Structure formats: C-alpha cells, structure tokens
Amino acid sequence: IGVQPGSDALPARRPLEAPVKTFPAHPAPIVPPTPAPRAEVPMQTMEPAPSLPPTSFDGPTAANPQVMPEVRAAAVPEAPVMTAPSVPRLSQIPLQSGPAGILVAAQQHLGEVHRAYLAQQQALHQHFLATRAAAMATLAQARSGAAGPRPVLPAAPVMTKPAPVVAPVAPVRTPAPAVEPPVALKPAMKAETPSPRKPSGARQRPDDGSTTLPGPRFSRQDLEHLASFRISERFGPLFGVQDDFPRQVRMPEEPFLLCDRVTGLDAEPASMTTGTIWTETDVVADGWYMHQGHMPAGIMIEAGQADLLLISWLGADFENRGERVYRLLGCELTYHGGLPCIGDLLKFDIHVDGHAKLGAQRMFFFHSDCRIDGEVRLSVREGQAGFFSDAELANSGGVLWDAKTGEHDASARLDAPVVPLAKGTFTKEEIDAFAEGHPVACFGEGFAVTEAHTRTPRIPHGDLQVLERITHLDHRGGPWGRGYLRAEDDITPDDWFFQGHFKDDPCMPGTFMFEVCLSTMAFYLTSMGFTLNRDGWTFRPVQDVPYSLKCRGQCTPSSKRIVYEVFVEEVHDGPIPTLWADVLCTVDGLKAFYARRVGLELVPGWPLDESHPLLDGYVEPKPVARMEDGFPFDYRSLLACAWGKPSEAFGAPYTVFDHVK
C-alpha cells in the first residue's frame, strides 16, 4: 500500500507473428468430364398393337397375330374362343306367384348377366397382360441382339354375345276369396286381390301436364249433374240399374262441390277393383271459403273429394242398392309449403288402393296428393272410408279415447301468455267480433293495440264461423293442467253445411269439423296475446307433420249439439308462435271426431295477399322504371310499400326481408 510498482522488471511484449494466407478472388470454373463415346444402336420400330373387338361388336373377331418379318416364330397355342357364360332366359326362371316372385326372378337374371360380364372382362384383361409381356420380350431380344424366334403377340379372344333376354309372362292369378276379418282395422282385413289387367305403376304417375291422362273427362257442368241427377246420363247405360236407388254415392252439391273438373280416370267401371282419378280445383278471389287470401286448411282437404266419384264409377252402389251410405273413417294428412292462395290451381291424383269386408260392411282404402305448380302441397295417406246402414251409424261406439288417460308429454314446453286472460267464457257476439277483425271487443282492453292493425290475425268469418259460445277457456286448465278450451254449436236442420252434402243423405263433412277445430285452436292462441305485435299475420297448420284424423260418428239434421274441445300439450312463443293440442268433437255425447297432436302456427302474412279494390282491373297507363331483372316499380309495387311483402315493393333482392329473422 502506498508503493509505486515498477514495470522495468517485466519482460517486453513479443510482436505478433501470425501466418499470412492469400485466396483467389473467384473460384476456378467447374468443367464436367467428357462422356465416353457410345456405340450406335439401330432404332427399332414396334409393330402396331393388335386390334381388339369393340364392346358393341355382335359377331366373333378373327385372330390377327402380329409376327416380326423374316423371323421364324415359336409355336404358340391357338387363340382362345371366349364364350359368354350361359345366361338363363328370364322366362325360364321359375316364377313364384305374385309380384314378389317376378321381382326375385328378375334379380336372379340380373346376377347371371353380371357374372357373364365379369368373365368377359377377365378374359380381356388376361389377353392384355399376355400382349404386354410378349411386346416386352421382343424389345429385350432386339436390344440384346440375340438370335432366335421372337415371341408372337397372342390373338385376341373371340367373344360371343349372350342370348337375348326374353321378358317373362306373369302367371295369371286367381283372385283370393273374400275373407271376413274379426275387427275393422286395415291391418287385420283381407284386401281383395286387385285386377291384373293393368300395371299398378300406370296409376301412380303424377299429372305433370306433359302427358294426356287416360279415361273419360268431366266438366264442372258434368259434376253438378252427377251430384244431383241421374248418374247413368254421364257414366253410361251400365249405371242405369242404380238410377232409382233412393241414396247413392255422389259428389257434394253446392256449396261443397269444390272440384271444378275431372282431367282423367283410369279404372274399370263397375269392377270394384282399384283405380285412379285426376281432378282440378281453381282457387278464385271470390270463393265463398276464402280467408285472408287463402283457402282454409279443412276446405283444402275437402277439395280432394273425388274419391266419391271414383268409388261410384267402380260400382259401389251396385252392392249398396240405396241401403248403405258413404262415410269417411279417417286418414293421415300432411301439409307442405303453405295454404293455397288466389290464382292457384289445385291438381289432385286420388288412388283407390284396395277393398275389405267386415260382415256386411264394405270398406275401401285410398291415398291422394294435391299439387300446385308441380309441387305436392297436401298428401293424404291411409285413407279409409266405408258404406254403412242407418242402424250401424246409429249404434256407433264413437272414438275410443279418453283425455284423462290420453297420451301427452307432461314436460313439453309451455310458454306463458303475453297478456293475462280477462275472462274464460265468450258469447257468439264476441266470437263474431274477433272473426271480423276486432279482438278488443272479444278479449278486452289488453288487446287495444290491435285496433291499429291493418289486417289483424283472426279466424274465418261468415258461414265458416259456426261457434255459438265458448264455455271454458283456461291457460292452465283441462285434465292435463296445461290449457283447455271448450266450445259449443247448436245444430238445427237448417244449418247451411247440410245443404248438398249429400243429396238425400245430409251430414256435416268431417273435413269441416277439422276446420272448426283449427278455429278453436286459433282462438286459444290469440287469447294468449301472441297476435298483438303481428299485424298481417295468419294462422295455418304446422307444415310437414303428419296428422292422424279419426271419424267414428256423424252430425246430421237430427243432431242437437256439437262440442269442440282443445286439450293443450305444448305452447311456443317466439318468432313463430305455435300451439300443439289434441282436438275432439262430440255430437250429442258421442265422440265423433278426434285428431292427435295437431300443430297450429302463426306465420307472417300481408294485406295484399288478398284481392285489393285498388288493383282490381287496374292497368298501368304509361311505362314505369324497371330493375335490371325486369321488376317494375308500378302501382302494385307502390301499394306493397304499405301493405305487401318487401320483395313485392322493391324486387327480388328484398326477399330476405319477407320472412321472420
């Protein structure tokens, strides 16, 4: 500490003596080695490929061996002759009786033809492999310069065409004798064997407008005559035997004659076998049944009424002889794509599928489709109808269903009402006020907002409104405790629906019972307040869901009262308010009509869906502006700005606003 160090004693630093290296600025060029010269090999030319028989060739193809010139060929076997495996003719295959046997035979024949095809393909493939091997051997021999015979290209196999197929002739079947089953259910009944005179497929083709339908045609005037006068004057003298029968199977008279024309009929008259009928119905703006621009759901079913005409043509009254009358027993129906609107043409194809007997009672089974512009809008399946005496109808046991033990989902969704229910009973005047578009006069001040509606949702009015009173409405009532409505209608002999349905056999249509049931469901859904903010909307059945309808009683001029009941199972609020319920019609204490789990929904609608007086006969007096796709901004589009769909006001780009988001 405090001593200054001296550096003299330290050795001096040695100078750096690192080696110095130098590098060229650019690398030396890379020169590839010179390849050794190759011996010239003369070019070889391959002979053309052997010709193969085309797949469509009918006869044998001669062998065409390709041999290299001036070279002795080695011995090879002769070209094989490929004969297609023996294919039994379809007519030689033993047929079972009935369509099932013919189908099995056809499948067996198809299998034999397919096996023959596989064998031919295998032979062709083997020939291809042999040809390729011979060609490769020839090239290898030429390259090596070895002497000797060169391989010969094998000849193509000679193909023979299998024997032509001969269509079978189905054996003639003897119709089975009628068997009387113990119960009146379709699965337990012995259906009569249909006549084999025409293939059933001919009766299943839809009327697409491109083909002429078979059989006679009947105009509206013809149908009115058939509903009221001598049937033989339109069906022909064969039916003169029934002219004096007091009651016959007929089409309804006005107002329930909804069919406008018959465009085709494919059935043997008076044969009581099977058949098909094609009909059309025009949906017009002034139709007595129109409601908010649409045909009601129950009326749409009734429009497919020509099973009556078809079964009459098949000769039902030859056996009924005026002692038995037609009654619908039930069906399963499904709606598709909305209800018919003004200008639609309904095209029905209705098919009688079979018959059965239960003692003296005779029944038949049918199905139908209703198309609009080629699309199915209503399908009816498992249709059943029969012919009954007065005593049998009077002694009917009715529908075997009890609400207390009826099937239902106790955990199903049950949304609360928008407004509280002010009362649980309603008079005819109040129901009529709702049907005429004044809900506040029916349901009370909680519905005052609907007075500002342009077209408030409502039930059909006029003749279609037949309810006299609602005796009970409770959103938590009924045997299921999920909601209940009970309505009544007093029956009199003068009620309009007895007129013309049918001549000399008045009864209320079962399809109209169903329509009134839908009205009671719409009344219930409205009472929950779901229409308050839905101006212009309308009610319709939930689409693409099958509904099973059962008819086991009748309402006639001698009846006194019919009761309509709604047993609520499920209620949905939201974008599309929906009600699911069982409906029951009771006539003088007899359960006459029942439908399980019917769905009714409230969907968007527009005032211009109906015919508007401002547009009746209107013709645009001068040219108007148009969009690129031709959409006109005319008077109708102007009115649509207030009363129509956005797409009707502004064109196709606004279609997305036509529906609920």
For residue 272, give the nearest of 383, 350, 171, 362 by alpha carbon: 362
Can you spell out the DSSP letters for 264-306? EEEE-TT--S-EEEEEEEE--TT-TT-BTTB--HHHHHHTT-T
Q: What is the pLDDT of residue 20?
A: 66
C-alpha distance across the termini of the chain, in Å: 95
Place of tokens 């009944």: 189
64: left (phi over 0), alpha (psi -120 to 50) or beta: beta
User: Which architecture characterizes domain 428-609 according to CATH?
Assistant: Roll (3.10)
Helices (H), 453-509: none
Q: What is the pLDDT of residue 50?
A: 67
pLDDT of residue 186 exceeding 70? no
Kindly state the average pLDDT of the residues 491-508: 97
Would you tell me which CATH number, out of the four given (3.40.1180.10, 3.30.300.210, 3.30.413.10, 3.10.129.10), belongs to the domain 186-394? 3.10.129.10
Q: What is the dihedral of CA 202, 205, 210, 211, to 10 degrees?
A: 20
291-331 pLDDT, tens per residue?
Answer: 999 999 999 999 999 999 999 999 999 999 999 999 999 99
pLDDT band, residue 374 (cuts 50/70/90): very high
Query: Is-contact 490 535, C-beta < 8 A?
Result: no
Query: Is-contact 112 87, C-beta < 8 A?
Result: yes
For residue 355, give the nearest of 381, 387, 327, 380 by alpha carbon: 387
Kindly state the average pLDDT of the residues 278-289: 96
In order of 90, 413, 592, 593, the CA distances from 397 in angstroms are 53, 34, 9, 12
pLDDT of residue 18 exceeding 80? no
pLDDT of residue 530 exceeding 90? yes
For residue 158, give the nearest of 52, 78, 58, 61 by alpha carbon: 61
Q: Which two tokens stand for residue 61?
A: 């193809």
CA atoms within 13 A on the CB side of 72: 2
Question: To the nearest whole percent, how much of the chain has pLDDT over 70?
Answer: 74
Q: What is the pLDDT of residue 325?
A: 98
Model pTM above 0.85: no
pLDDT band, residue 165 (cuts 50/70/90): very low
Q: What is the pLDDT of residue 70?
A: 46
Which regions of the chain carry the CATH code 3.10.129.10? 186-394, 428-609
Q: Measured between alpha carbons, how far is 80 from 158 in angstroms, rounded to an integer?
A: 7
pLDDT of residue 77 exceeding 90? no
Task: Provide the annotated active-site residues.
Answer: 501
pLDDT of residue 363 exceeding 90? yes
Q: What is the pLDDT of residue 187?
A: 37
pLDDT band, residue 184 (cuts 50/70/90): very low
Kindly state the average pLDDT of the residues 521-538: 97
For residue 297, give the nearest of 539, 490, 649 by alpha carbon: 539
Lowest-confidence pick of 165-169, 442-446, 553-557, 583-587: 165-169
Kindly state the average pLDDT of the residues 6-12: 60
pLDDT of residue 59 exceeding 70? no
Q: What is the pLDDT of residue 616?
A: 74
User: 134 versus 5: which is more confidently predicted?
Assistant: 134
Q: What is the pLDDT of residue 37?
A: 61
Other CB atoms closer than 10 Å to residue 121's CB: what's the count? Answer: 10
